[in-house]
Amino acid sequence: MRARRFRTTLAALTALAVVGLSGCAGGDDTASPGSGTSSAGVTGTVTVFAAASLTGSFTTIGKDFEAANPGVKVTFSFAGSSALATQINQGAPADVFASAAPANMKVVTDAGNGDGTPTTFVRNQLVIAVGKGNPKGVTGLTDLTKPDTKVALCAEQVPCGAAAKKALDAASVKVTPVTLEQDVKAALSKVKLGEVDAALVYRTDAKAAAADVDGIEFPESAKAINDYPIIVLKNAPNRTAAQAFVAYVLADTGKGVLTAAGFQAP
């Protein structure tokens, strides 16, 4: 009788041990909420259309996402948000759209090309980018009106251009640019090349180019902060990978990359 009880107890303990080990194994395969680790069943190519100002951050996030999901390849198309929105509505194959402003995202969702509701994942603010050492002594927006100061702005249909207009209007300042660019990278490039003395660009872009330019803060930029929304597209060729990529951007790992680049939390 005693031997039978011993065998019964041993069998029960063995079963509990097996269940416990199975639970541990399952936990290793499942990412904890907000961790930004691998996602089960994610393979293939995910194509991301993203605002030019996200180039550095999203390139890093894409590499991290690929490392966490070895079966995935991330490809990017970086450009002005308005141009990307037009391409999406014209049928360009893409899985994810990350815009530098809600207005351009609305163009896509109003056309029925978004899947669900966009999520704002970061915010960005303008600075005045000037040549290293600030040779013109720019301290604020009024300095951009001086006749000997050449200024580059983004076109108004581009988020950085719309934000610049808001900031200039808030300061009651009228600037006559020598060039209007189609994305913030192009405007910043004019400063880096010495073709203009100053440009209104995002804080993140000035920070990334700190070896070549200085970023001058100005108070009116608080009136023109841009929210950045992201969404999986309705006709995403790789919906599973698209959803996983968006989740990765919103998780701690993605947030860390974006914060380090100078983006603000929404």
Place of tokens 């049928």: 91
**Shared domain check, 204 and 117:** no
**Shared domain check, 231 and 119:** yes
Is there a domain that residue 214 lies in?
yes
Segment 164-204, tens digit of pLDDT: 999 999 999 999 999 999 999 999 999 999 999 999 999 99
Is there a domain that residue 191 lies in?
yes
The whole-angstrom separation of Cα 126 and Cα 163 is 8
Mean pLDDT of 200-223: 96
Mean pLDDT of 133-148: 97
Taking Cα atoms as reference points, which of 67, 135, 71, 80 lies closest to residue 107?
A: 80
pLDDT at 213: 98
Q: Which domain holds residue 78?
A: 44-123+227-260
Q: What's the domain count of the chain? A: 2
Count of C-beta atoms within a 10 Å radius of residue 213: 25
Is there a domain that residue 11 lies in?
no
Segment 21-80, tens digit of pLDDT: 333 333 333 343 344 555 667 999 999 999 999 999 999 999 999 999 999 999 999 999
Residue 2 has pLDDT above 50, yes or no: no
Q: What is the CATH number of the domain that holds 251?
A: 3.40.190.10
**Shared domain check, 141 and 116:** no
**Shared domain check, 136 and 255:** no
